[in-house]
Amino acid sequence: VLYIGDSKMGAQPTRAALEAHGDYYLVPLSATQLPESEVEAYLQPVWEGRQALTPVERTAAEGKTATVAEGYESDTRLRVDVAGRAVEWVERRLIVRSLSHAAAQEAALHERLEEARAALLDLPRPRRGKKRLTSLGEYHQAIEAILARYRVAGLLDVQCTETLIERRVRGYGERPARREREAQVQLTVTVVPAAVDARIRRLGWRVYATNAPAASLGLTEAVLAYREQYIVERGFARLKGQPLSLTPMYLQREDHVTGLIRLLSIALRALTLFEFVVRRRLAGTKLAGLYPGNRTRATARPSAELLLEAFKDIDLMVWSGEHGTARHLTPLSTVQQNILALLDLPSATYTRLVGDFSEPGKK
């Protein structure tokens, strides 16, 4: 069995236990499991041009293929005691750079640099209700706090220049005329290009660990398999939150709790299957009309919630009068008919609700 999990599953004893039981794992290694110095050692050959990278390509629902990541792999031998027994194995380390994640991190870094620079240059400006900085020591403390807040320490060069200005103060009443000295501080903030470039080249990289053989789980397969694991986690999010809302739970009896979980688990399976079938049938095409604010917007991967939302305005009314019973069912829209067609359900599945619905007062 291949177990795919996040960094919480990446603890060395957990990996060793899976190896001891003959199972496979694929997990990212956190800073606790793999120190930054070891990550730097993996990346140094890449930066020096001594290590070639393998592109990881992914085919979208529209049929277009794009490179989503790049990386290489390296083997390391491990030995861990599990229940008093030494377990030895060769672990494959996948050093991978996500291109989209790196681009997003770089954009966020430049944004933080601009915000930090603006905050630094704003320090000397007097503000109402705010204590004015009067010494270089206070300025240095404020500068360090800003650099830490925006996580840009070492990326900005901040220079403080203190100038003493003497001004003449006119006498008033019993106070004689005098001269006072006032210290004014000017700041210059410049970006350190070399430090920024070094930070950028580190963005997007992550090290994954697996004991699966390369023949069955290559670099590309591993990256794509890990990216798909969010789908499973999304199912649990649906179960606990919207639309199934398992929590908060106000039940007291254990059998009621068990029954509710089982019932909602069946609903989750139906919801997941519903979404899977529609997306598979949409392969290479798109479905429009699902977004209330933009009816022309189309998608090839609609969520089950979005598909069900398209049916929220249907009504079935049954009323009785002197001349018998009347029924009215909201006609299906084009979008609703398309959804039923994607599910291989005839329109009669919907329209026969009129005949199946019992009259008021009858069972």
Predicted confidence at residue 149, as pLDDT, reads: 95
Give me the tens of pLDDT residue by residue for the chain, a chain 363 residues long.
898 888 888 899 999 999 999 999 999 999 999 999 999 999 999 999 999 999 999 886 566 788 999 999 999 999 999 888 899 999 999 999 999 999 999 999 999 999 999 999 988 887 776 777 777 888 899 999 999 999 999 999 999 887 777 777 787 877 887 777 777 788 899 999 999 999 999 999 999 999 999 999 999 999 998 887 655 667 777 888 777 888 777 888 899 989 988 998 898 889 888 988 998 888 778 899 888 888 888 888 888 889 999 988 888 888 887 877 888 888 888 999 999 999 998 888 888 877 755 555 554
Predicted confidence at residue 62, as pLDDT, reads: 61
Tell me how far apart the alpha carbons of residues 295 and 290 are, in angstroms, rounded to a whole number. Answer: 6
Contacts of 298 (CB under 8 A, 6+ apart): 286, 287, 288
Of 360, 351, 361, 362, the residue nearest 328 (C-alpha): 351
Over its C-alpha atoms, the chain yields an Rg (Å, rounded) of: 32
Predicted confidence at residue 163, as pLDDT, reads: 79
Predicted confidence at residue 279, as pLDDT, reads: 87
In this structure, the number of other CB atoms found within 10 A of the CB of residue 95 comes to 21
Contacts of 324 (CB under 8 A, 6+ apart): none
Tell me how far apart the alpha carbons of residues 105 and 196 are, in angstroms, rounded to a whole number. Answer: 12
Tell me how far apart the alpha carbons of residues 193 and 188 are, in angstroms, rounded to a whole number. Answer: 16
Predicted confidence at residue 36, as pLDDT, reads: 93
3-state secondary structure 33-78: CCCHHHHHHHHHHHHCCCCCCEEEEEECCCCCEEEEEEEEEEEEEE
Q: Identify the three-state secondary structure at position 332.
A: coil
Tell me how far apart the alpha carbons of residues 114 and 105 are, in angstroms, rounded to a whole number. Answer: 14
Contacts of 7 (CB under 8 A, 6+ apart): 27, 28, 29, 30, 33
This prediction has a pTM of 0.65
